[in-house]
């Protein structure tokens, strides 16, 4: 696809996401249809950006865009079962920004030739794990805002206030949060295990102790501790939200942060 056409699609996708964020909640059908159209355009552009002969184009902007693409899909599906308009107000502006970033920071080519056939699957699972846990982070922020609103006396209408009032009960939101975290933790565990296998093949060591590995393992430990605390100590509320956001922030440093430093600050490609 010509680069000018791809850039046009990215701009159109970003504007559609921005419109989804700005529309009032009563325009539910229009929001749903516009979200689906933007999501499809977003997926086409990501497919064109990432796939290259003999390799994958990967970078902090592409990974962030892919994570928001999956997040939008999850929002669109869950919103059909639960009233999650508050999530729209958080996700859509982020999706609008993330969808346009690959046009500015296209990343670099990661060669797959000569590598094990399953290596591409490892990368896909890693991106999916990051995306699912991104959803958990948005959900945790939404729960924190919801809990804060329950403790305030003012019920005035604002940009987010009305949407927060329409959310399911906190107990339901918490169940949804741990369901998402459970799925993300399984995918993250698969990422770590497959990463160990490929690290031994590529570098001759069970694990390459670089910043990416350290932050990924630290994030895995935080989510493992949260799920264990939930199971045996009944952790919930603010403790759960803090662990979720800390685990996601650490994972973001491993995935997006490391690529951002390499591409933007150090002006280097991927190893």
Identify whether 145 is part of a domain.
yes
Identify whether 270 is part of a domain.
no
Identify whether 125 is part of a domain.
yes
Identify whether 24 is part of a domain.
yes
Cβ proximity of 108 and 59 under 8 Å: yes
pLDDT of residue 253: 82
Identify whether 271 is part of a domain.
no
Domain that holds residue 191: 3-265
Identify whether 203 is part of a domain.
yes
Has this prediction a pTM greater than 0.85? Answer: no
Along the 271 residues of the chain, how does pLDDT read in single tens digits?
677 788 889 999 999 999 999 898 888 889 999 999 999 999 999 888 887 766 777 777 888 888 889 889 988 888 777 767 777 888 899 999 999 988 887 766 766 666 666 666 777 788 888 888 888 888 898 888 888 877 765 555 555 666 677 677 888 888 889 999 999 999 999 988 877 776 655 545 555 666 777 888 999 999 999 999 998 988 888 898 999 999 998 988 877 655 555 555 445 554 4
pLDDT of residue 63: 80
Total tally of structural domains belonging to the chain = 1
Long-range contacts of 39-43 (CB under 8 A, 24+ apart): 39/69, 39/72, 39/73, 39/76, 41/9, 41/12, 41/13, 41/16, 42/13, 42/17, 42/69, 42/72, 42/95, 42/99, 43/69
Identify whether 226 is part of a domain.
yes
Identify whether 113 is part of a domain.
yes
Tell me how far apart the alpha carbons of residues 121 and 7 are, in angstroms, rounded to a whole number.
27
């Amino acid at each position: 696809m010509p680069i000018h056409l791809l850039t046009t699609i990215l701009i159109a996708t970003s504007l559609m996401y921005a419109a989804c964020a700005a529309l009032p909640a009563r325009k539910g059908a229009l929001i749903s249809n516009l979200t689906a159209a933007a999501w499809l355009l977003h997926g086409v552009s990501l497919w064109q950006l990432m796939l290259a002969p003999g390799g994958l184009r990967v970078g902090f902007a592409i990974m962030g865009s892919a994570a928001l693409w999956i997040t939008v899909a999850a929002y669109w599906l869950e919103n059909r079962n639960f009233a999650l308009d508050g999530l729209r107000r958080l996700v859509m502006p982020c999706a609008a920004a993330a969808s346009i970033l690959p046009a500015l920071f296209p990343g670099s080519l990661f060669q797959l030739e000569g590598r094990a056939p399953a290596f591409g699957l490892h990368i896909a699972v890693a991106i999916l794990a990051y995306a699912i846990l991104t959803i958990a982070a948005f959900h945790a922020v939404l729960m924190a805002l919801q809990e804060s609103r329950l403790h305030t006396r003012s019920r005035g209408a604002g940009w987010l206030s009305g949407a927060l009032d329409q959310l399911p009960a906190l107990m339901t939101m918490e169940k949804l949060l741990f369901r998402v975290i459970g799925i993300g933790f399984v995918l993250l565990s698969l990422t770590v295990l497959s990463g160990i296998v490929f690290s031994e093949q590529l570098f001759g060591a069970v694990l390459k102790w670089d910043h990416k590995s350290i932050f990924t393992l630290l994030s895995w430990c935080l989510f493992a501790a949260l799920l264990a605390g939930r199971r045996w100590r009944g952790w919930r509320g603010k403790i759960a939200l803090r662990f979720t956001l800390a685990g996601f922030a650490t994972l973001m440093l491993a995935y997006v942060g490391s690529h951002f430093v390499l591409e933007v600050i150090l002006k280097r490609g991927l190893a």
